[in-house]
Each structure stands twice: as structure tokens, then as C-alpha cells.
Amino acid sequence: MLNLTELPVNSASPRILSMIIKVCVVIPFFCIFLCCTVVMLYIFASNRQFLDSSRYILFAFMLINDTVQLLFSVLLFFFDMGQVRFALVYCVPLLFISIATFQNTPLILATMSLERYVAIIYPLQCPPAWRSDRIWIIILSLWLLSCVCGIIVCSTGEQKNAEGIFYIPLICSDTIVNSSPIQTLFKTVVNILCFAAVAVIILFTYVRIMLETRKLRQDRTSVSKAMNTVLLHGFQLLLCMLAFTIPITESLIVLQANWLIEDIAFLNFFCFIIIPRFLSPLIYGFRDQSFRSYIWKTFLCCSQSNRVSKA
């Protein structure tokens, strides 16, 4: 009898240990990302030179979007890993925000590349829409477009019996809402078109900046920085597109190794969702010379204040 009662505990202990390890891996990355994001947003809000620049306004917008996207992705993954069940009426808003912010990231990258193109090609006569006091119109347009795509993805497909389906406890995952072939097809087409259009825009801006600089006499240093920035946006886009390789990597891992499904899902989630979102804004923020100098000053001030308080 003693062995029989201990059997469920022994069989469940590896799964509990695996969950603890996964939480201990994800939480530090998210906390570091959140701390760096808070510092960069504080620097942005406390310095007038950043508030008056469309480039830094778009960067702050990207930071906020990626933070929200990463937060909801981590929440949904932990809910799925812990088999937490709650009503579909609460699950859909979480999935909607996750889908909308994911869709918004490539749109922000395309907009930031176009902003660099406008700043180089029209240095003295910047179009009104790209000025710092009107850039919020473009930002609102990006939010509206990504939200419309999210609403369509969550609502398109077979209509189920609405009598009690929204209040039945379920595991909140993307397959619950996107269960019909129409929804899957629409989501695939939207993602392909969106990322292809963004890739074309980034390539177009890079080539145009390179060609225009050969014709015009401009500051070579600023032009070189603009071209490197556009290339960085292309790298960020590649990081975002890693999420589409998840089905391929799942198939390869299943063929090569005898892993559990939840372990494969965690590996893909960590490598292709968390790491790209973790690296993308941090690389851009620490690469910028102005932002980097303020970041070091902020950390130095915090360390000095801690030393004074301890003394």
C-alpha cells in the first residue's frame, strides 16, 4: 500500500521539477528585459531631445509594444504549462493582445526604416506626418491596423454554440480560438503578406539611401549610421520571423529525439519567442550612442546612491 500511494508522487515529481526549471529560466530573462525597458523609457521621458525626435518616439513605442507582447506571451505559456483552465470570455482578450502586438512589431520596424529614409532624403523639408508632434498619427494607425487583424483572426471561422461555450473552463491557447481552417489560412496569409511587405520596405529604404548618398553630398557619418540602422531593422525582422519556424523545428526534434511535447514547446517558445523579443529592443537601445551614454549614467547614479545609503 505504501508503494502504491507513493507512485503518483514519484511520477509527478519529474514534471514538477521540469516546470520549476522552466520558470527559473524564463523569469530572469523577463526581469532583465523589464528593468532595461523601464530604464530606457525613463530616459526617453526625462530628456527633451528624445521627446522631440520621431526616431526615439518610435523606439519608445517599440519598447512598449514588445514589453506587452512578451508579458502576455509569458502569461499564456505559463497558463498552458500549468494546465490552468478559465472561461473563453477571459481567454480571448489575452490572445487578442498577444496577436495584435505580435503583428505590430514588423509594422513598427517598417515605419522606423521609413523614418530613417525620410530623415536622409528630406533633411531640410521633413513631411508633416513624420514630425515629432504628428508622429502619433502614424502610431495610432499602426495600432488600428494590428488590432483589426487581431479581431479578424479571433472572429473569423466557424461559429460555435454561444449558449455556454464562452463560460466553459478551457486551457487558453491559440488553437482554441483559431480552430477552423479558415482562421488558420487567414492568419497564415496575413503573416506572410505582412512580413513580405515589411521586408520589401526595409530593402527599398536601404537601397534608396545608398543610391541617394552617391548623388548628394551629405554627412557620410550620419548616412552610414542610417544605413546600419536599416540593416539592424532587417536583422530584427529576421528575429521576429523565427517564430514561423516553430512547426519545422518541432518536426525535426520529434524525428531526432524522444522529447516530451511540453519540452519541445518550451524550447521553441524560449528560442523563437522570448530570445528575439529580448534581444531586439536591447540591441537597438544599447547600440544608440545617445541612449547608451544616458543608460550608463543612470546605472552609475543608482550604484552611487546605493553606496551612500549603505554608508
* pLDDT tens-digit readout, 140-190: 999 999 998 878 777 755 555 555 566 778 888 777 666 667 777 777 788
On the question of pLDDT at 215 being above 90, the answer is: no
pLDDT for 7 equals: 43
pLDDT for 61 equals: 93
- Residue 222 has a CB neighbour count (10 Å cut-off) of 13
**Average pLDDT for 4-16:** 56
**Average pLDDT for 31-46:** 89
pLDDT mean across residues, the chain:
79
- The structure's pTM equals 0.84
Q: Work out the end-to-end distance of the chain between its first and last CA atoms, rounded to an integer number of angstroms.
A: 61
Higher pLDDT among residues 308 and 301, named by residue: 301
Provide the angle, in degrees to the nearest 10, between the axes of the packed helices 2-46 and 289-310: 110
Q: Which long-range contacts (CB under 8 A, 24 or more apart) does 68-73 make?
A: 68/97, 68/101, 69/98, 69/101, 69/102, 69/104, 69/105, 69/277, 70/30, 70/33, 70/274, 70/277, 70/278, 71/30, 72/97, 72/98, 72/101, 73/98, 73/269, 73/273, 73/274, 73/277
> Which superfamily is assigned to 17-279 in CATH?
Rhodopsin 7-helix transmembrane proteins (1.20.1070.10)
On the question of pLDDT at 277 being above 90, the answer is: no
| Cβ proximity of 206 and 231 under 8 Å | yes
On the question of pLDDT at 256 being above 80, the answer is: no
**Average pLDDT for 114-125:** 84
Angle 294-34-17 from CA coordinates, rounded to 5°: 145
**Average pLDDT for 249-267:** 71
* pLDDT tens-digit readout, 40-87: 898 899 888 888 889 899 999 999 999 999 999 889 888 888 788 888
